[in-house]
Structure 1
Amino acid sequence: MRRIIAIIIFLSLLLVPIFTWGNVDNTIVQKQKELQKKREQINSLKMQVKNLEKKELNIVQEISKIDMDLDKAERDLSIAETKLRETQAKLVVLSTQLSIMQRNLRYRSLNYKESLGDIFKTIQPKIYLDIIFTQDVFASVAVPYYLKILMKREVNRLQSIDKQCKDIDKKKKEWEAEKRKVELLVKDISERKGYIEAKKRERETFLQKIREQKRYQQQVIATLERESKEIENLIKRLASSKIQKAKKGYLSWPVIGSVTSGFGMRRHPILGGAPLFHTGIDISADYGTPIRAVASGRVIFAGWYGGYGNMIIIDHGGNISTVYGHLSRIAVRSGEEISEGDIIGYVGSTGLSTGPHLHFEVRVNGEPVDPMNWLK
């Protein structure tokens, strides 16, 4: 009986860690799925923010152009209003000149009539007869000649004044036409300025909405990233209790090829040659080359991840994990147990990549280390 009890107690001690590990594994898988979902949400929101930033830039450029149009409209309006004032002033001067000339014309006309009346009153018909029948030849020629000169001079004066009146009147009509044209121009520019101002208000309102939406999404991203980090830390804590299956200097190569870019600082080949820290190594390989797990472990992420493109993360226990990026196709699922040498995916060029190759990382406690020290 004692022997049976001892056997039961021994078996119980064996089963407890098995059930405990099973619960831990289930929690890890669940949290990994939750982490992947949150990362997908973060990537989607970041893409939306990027699109909003493009819209924001376009609207800012539109508003800048509208401001230039508005400045031009204000300058045009100022010039047109100045021209209108000059035209109005010119019309006042011309109206005054015309009024004076017309008054002079009336005065000269009356004066001319009065002068002729006085002459005819002075020279009576009897005198005309005496002049005609007199023997004084000079008188008979001089008097009519004098009258003719007098009349011609006055007619010339009247014609000159009349011509001046007509010229001024013509100029006045031209300037009145110019005034109407300038008034229409002022009205047109005023309406254009009003339209531009309304358009600017509309774009500024839209820009404000875009910025509010962007701020909101950035807040959501920050919240999701914080939650993602918390889940990641939880996975690390849970995974750290497992036996370490990856040892320094003993990892198999994921693909056979030459290292085209090492670990550490480099000029990024896509982002304008900006100096950035390369968190892994790039191994050259043909498109579609099978990628193998460098050690046994559990897949904790398999999906799209920003610049990495199609990416896989394998937890090897003891806070050691490996990362495989830019895959053309993923052949495993999150939560799947894999062995060293298993095919997990295929070489591609997804994400921020210049061509087919494998980006490979080794991380200790989540921090990247030089993979060359860990590979065989």
Structure 2
Amino acid sequence: MHSLSDEVLLLDKQHDATARVVRSLDEQLISITEEVRVATASLEEAEREATQKRGLLHRRLIEIYKRGPLFSAEVLFSAKSVGDLVARYKYLHVLTLHDKTLVHRMEDLKSTIESRRVQLVHLQNGVGENRTEKAEEAARLQALEGQRSRSLVQVQQDAQKTKARLGELARSESRLNNVIASLEATRRTAGRNAPVTASTLRTSDVGRLDWPVEGRFLYRFGRFVNPNNTTTRWNGLGISAAAGTPVKSVSIGTVAYAGLMGTYGNTVILEHGGGDYSVYGSLSQIEVRKGARVTKGQILGTVGTSDPQLGPHLHFEIRRGGPAVDPTEWLRAAR
């Protein structure tokens, strides 16, 4: 699925392509308009010449009619000598050729005029089609510009929301770190006057702890690149599960914190001794109280939705001496 940024880039490409089509149609319209001008001028010239030739032919027909069908014979038989006869014959021959040329030219002009009229109709239809297509492309271009503007506004709004969300995550993480640091400081102060309690998270538990909830990975420990190209660093795992699914302790411990924790929502922190802690966030309900001793596998609460963008899930961390470590290294049969 494309992000809004990808959509804006796609709209930019479509906008540029449509703008090129509109420019091309403008160039075609100029070219067709010039062809219409040339064709119109040629048609007008042919019609003027046809009018002139038609007048000449009309006068010649009147002359031929008035002289009658025996005119040529009378001209030849009235010759006074052989030389006069030859001259009269040549005159009649030239006159006949002139009449034939005039008739042929009239036929050519008629054909030219018909051809130019057909061409002109075709070109005028082309102009109409061009203008219609240009209007459609111009409307499409305007729609793309409006859509791009709306998408850009949406991208800017999403960027602001993402920035605000990342800020909330950073503040929540800082608060969690401060809580863990405070617990550690209290534990170390107490440790000066009492024996150090060994952690219930032993190195032999690596790769053998039961999962706190059944589900699939929503996000993993470490750096995560979001679909909008922003980066989130997770100090734990996101385990997707149905809302209301029981969340269980991975080991024996004492509830060091039970309450709201910013974007983590309802959160339980178990202290396992020796500076080790496990964190269970995004709970819909908390079933334990601060100071309570819990057993391995005991229900701490139920899966909830602390972030609508992520849906119902459990946020799970393991802390050793304060810093977060990758929980998948501790859980059984990483999925």
Q: Normalising by structure 2, what TM-score?
A: 0.61
| Partners of 1:70 and 1:88 in 2: CA distance | 27
| Partners of 1:82 and 1:226 in 2: CA distance | 62
Task: Using the TM superposition, give the Cα deviation of residue 69 of structure 1 relative to its aligned residue in structure 2, in angstroms.
Answer: 1.2
For the pair 1:363 / 2:314, whether they are aligned, the reply is no
Task: Using the TM superposition, give the Cα deviation of residue 80 of structure 1 relative to its aligned residue in structure 2, in angstroms.
Answer: 1.4
How do 1:65-80 residues align onto structure 2 when only pairs under 5 Å count?
A: 65-80=10-25
1:109 matched residue in structure 2: 54
Question: Structure 2 counterpart of 1:337, which letter?
Answer: A
Indicate if the aligned counterparts of 2:201 and 2:276 stay in contact, CA closer than 8 A.
no
In structure 2, the CA distance between the partners of 1:202 and 1:242, relative to structure 1 (3 Å rule), is same
| Partners of 2:275 and 2:130 in 1: CA distance | 81
For the pair 1:345 / 2:298, whether they are aligned, the reply is yes
Structure 1 residue runs without a partner (length 5+): 1-53, 262-268, 281-287, 352-358, 371-376
For the pair 1:154 / 2:109, whether they are aligned, the reply is no
Give the 3-state SS of the residue equivalent to 1:201 in structure 2.
Answer: helix
Indicate if the aligned counterparts of 1:246 and 1:316 stay in contact, CA closer than 8 A.
no
Question: Structure 1 counterpart of 2:145, which letter?
Answer: E
2:44 matched residue in structure 1: 99
Question: Structure 2 counterpart of 1:93, which letter?
Answer: V
| Partners of 1:238 and 1:162 in 2: CA distance | 111
| Partners of 1:331 and 1:344 in 2: CA distance | 15
Return the match for 1:131 from 71, 74, 84: 74
How do 1:155-194 residues align onto structure 2 when only pairs under 5 Å count?
A: 155-194=103-142
| Partners of 1:369 and 1:208 in 2: CA distance | 35
Question: Structure 2 counterpart of 1:131, which letter?
Answer: E
Task: Using the TM superposition, give the Cα deviation of residue 109 of structure 1 relative to its aligned residue in structure 2, in angstroms.
Answer: 1.6
Give the 3-state SS of the residue equivalent to 2:278 in structure 1.
Answer: strand
In structure 2, the CA distance between the partners of 1:360 and 1:188, relative to structure 1 (3 Å rule), is closer
What is the percent sequence identity of the aligned residues? 13
Aligned length: 277
Indicate if the aligned counterparts of 1:332 and 1:344 stay in contact, CA closer than 8 A.
no
In structure 2, the CA distance between the partners of 1:99 and 1:334, relative to structure 1 (3 Å rule), is same
Task: Using the TM superposition, give the Cα deviation of residue 235 of structure 1 relative to its aligned residue in structure 2, in angstroms.
Answer: 3.5
| Partners of 1:129 and 1:233 in 2: CA distance | 133
In structure 2, the CA distance between the partners of 1:148 and 1:272, relative to structure 1 (3 Å rule), is farther
Give the 3-state SS of the residue equivalent to 2:148 in structure 1.
Answer: helix
1:285 matched residue in structure 2: none
For the pair 1:314 / 2:262, whether they are aligned, the reply is no
| Partners of 2:290 and 2:148 in 1: CA distance | 54
| Partners of 1:367 and 1:128 in 2: CA distance | 128
1:195 matched residue in structure 2: 143
Return the match for 1:82 from 10, 22, 27: 27
When you count helix as a share of all residues, which structure comes out higher? 1
Indicate if the aligned counterparts of 2:252 and 2:296 stay in contact, CA closer than 8 A.
no
Indicate if the aligned counterparts of 1:299 and 1:315 stay in contact, CA closer than 8 A.
yes
After superposition, what is the alpha-carbon deviation per residue over 1:208-253, rounded to whole angstroms, capped at 9, x for unaligned? 11212222333333334434444443333344443556545x8586
After superposition, what is the alpha-carbon deviation per residue over 1:75-109, rounded to whole angstroms, capped at 9, x for unaligned? 21122111111110101110111111111111212
Give the 3-state SS of the residue equivalent to 1:333 in structure 2.
Answer: coil
Task: Using the TM superposition, give the Cα deviation of residue 157 of structure 1 relative to its aligned residue in structure 2, in angstroms.
Answer: 2.0
How do 1:279-358 residues align onto structure 2 when only pairs under 5 Å count?
A: 293-294=251-252, 298-301=254-257, 313-315=269-271, 320-323=275-278, 333-338=288-293, 342-345=295-298
Give the 3-state SS of the residue equivalent to 1:300 in structure 2.
Answer: strand
In structure 2, the CA distance between the partners of 1:119 and 1:228, relative to structure 1 (3 Å rule), is same
Give the 3-state SS of the residue equivalent to 1:159 in structure 2.
Answer: helix
Task: Using the TM superposition, give the Cα deviation of residue 135 of structure 1 relative to its aligned residue in structure 2, in angstroms.
Answer: 10
| Partners of 1:60 and 1:303 in 2: CA distance | 38
Structure number with larger C-alpha Rg: 1
| Partners of 1:362 and 1:223 in 2: CA distance | 18
In structure 2, the CA distance between the partners of 1:91 and 1:227, relative to structure 1 (3 Å rule), is same
| Partners of 1:218 and 1:258 in 2: CA distance | 31
Give the 3-state SS of the residue equivalent to 2:298 in structure 1.
Answer: strand
Indicate if the aligned counterparts of 1:304 and 1:311 stay in contact, CA closer than 8 A.
yes
Q: Normalising by structure 1, what TM-score?
A: 0.55
| Partners of 2:178 and 2:219 in 1: CA distance | 30
After superposition, what is the alpha-carbon deviation per residue over 1:159-191, rounded to whole angstroms, capped at 9, x for unaligned? 221111111111111111111111111111111
Give the 3-state SS of the residue equivalent to 1:242 in structure 2.
Answer: helix
Higher relative contact order (CA 8 A, sep 6+): 1
Indicate if the aligned counterparts of 2:200 and 2:272 stay in contact, CA closer than 8 A.
no
In structure 2, the CA distance between the partners of 1:135 and 1:193, relative to structure 1 (3 Å rule), is closer
